[in-house]
Amino acid sequence: MKRKSEWKRTAVQAASLLLHNANLKGFVTGKIYQGDLKQVCVPGLNCYSCPGAIGACPVGSLQNALQKSKPSFPFYVLGFLLLFGALLGRFVCGFLCPFGFVQDLLYKIPFFKKIRTFPGEKYLRWLKYVVALLLVVALPLIYTGVPYFCKYLCPAGTLFGAIPLLSLDQLLSDQIGPLFWWKLIVLIVVVLVSLLISRPFCRYLCPLGGFYGLFNRVSLVQLKHTETKCVHCDRCVPVCAMGIDPKTQFDSTECIRCGKCARVCPTDALRLGLLDLKKKKEEQTA
């Protein structure tokens, strides 16, 4: 049953990847979809310029609002992010993000060594907040006209956008310059590290995951831990995709709510479910 549950999650991730990129003919024609749906944000990290993308990446949309010559307050994008954050938290990362799914698949490839964590790694996790503040907010506001995160860092844009478009359009491929090679190096590094460490981009660099993580303690979807059921067998620790201890960090901003820990727990001390609003209210008034 637990094995089936993991396959169910994989099926949801695959379906989400297809839904994010439902314009399949774009991968044949090399044409970017420009219909009405492109005005709507999608929950995961998925490049606007991907030929299959039918929606807009929230990170790209936020930068677009901020980097104009006359920046506008991004009411819609922030409202969208707040809604998904409050409802799902980092469940979006664990089940709905296309690039998160890619990293999961890469980590499953057999490699000579898998690294769960390493000394000083906890400090690297703060980088995603630096990326969010610097590349997504500050620089687009200060130096208008450039979506810094998308242009200089985002590996999802290279994988889902630049590579398919360049392979389909000879005119574009003839114009390849240093920026593309830099982005390709970033993607290659993320791919190689993903063979060693589970979800390195999610852990250290993704501003979207960092934002959703801020809502983990209050979101509708929760990872719950029942101490009275826990036998401290630690089976949950090595399977955690984010390298945390689920039994003590079940409400951490790093948890992506993938449910792996709950599926291996022999006593059901860990459970992925909905927030008990009644119980929450009782705890607050106690």
Which tops the pLDDT comparison, 278 or 273?
Answer: 273
286 pLDDT higher than 50: no
pLDDT at 284 (0 to 100): 45
Q: Between the CA of residue 83 and those of 31, 76, 92, 201, 238, what are the distances in Å?
A: 31, 10, 12, 23, 32
Q: Give me the residue spans of the domains in the chain.
A: 2-213, 221-280
DSSP per position, 119-181: TTHHHHTTHHHHHIIIIIIIHHHHSTT--HHHHHT-HHHIIIIIHHHHHH-HHHHTT--HHHH
**What CA–CA distance (Å, rounded) separates 206 from 28?**
29
Q: For 198-254, what is each residue's pLDDT tens digit?
A: 999 999 999 999 999 999 999 999 999 999 999 999 999 999 999 999 999 999 999
- Model pTM? 0.92
State the pLDDT at residue 133.
96
- Judged against a pLDDT cut of 50, whether residue 1 lies above it is answered with no
Question: pLDDT tens digits, residue range 23-75?
Answer: 999 999 989 999 999 999 999 999 998 999 999 999 999 998 887 767 678 89
Q: What is the pLDDT of residues 141-174, one digit of tens each?
A: 888 778 999 999 999 999 999 999 999 888 888 8
Nearest-angstrom CA–CA distance, 92 and 234: 26
CA-CA distance, 116 to 152, in Å (whole number)?
Answer: 28
In the structure, what pLDDT confidence band is assigned to residue 277 with cuts at 50, 70 and 90?
A: low
The pLDDT of residue 282 is above 50: no
User: What are 238-271's pLDDT values in tens digits?
Assistant: 999 999 999 999 999 999 999 999 999 999 999 9
* CATH-assigned architecture of domain 221-280: 2-Layer Sandwich (3.30)
φ and ψ at 270, to 5 degrees?
-110, 135
- The mean pLDDT value for 97-121 works out to 94
Coil vs helix vs strand at 281: helix
Stretch among 97-106, 152-161, 250-259, 272-281 having the lowest mean pLDDT: 272-281
Instruction: Tell me which residue of 226, 237, 239 sits closest to 267, measured CA to CA.
Output: 226
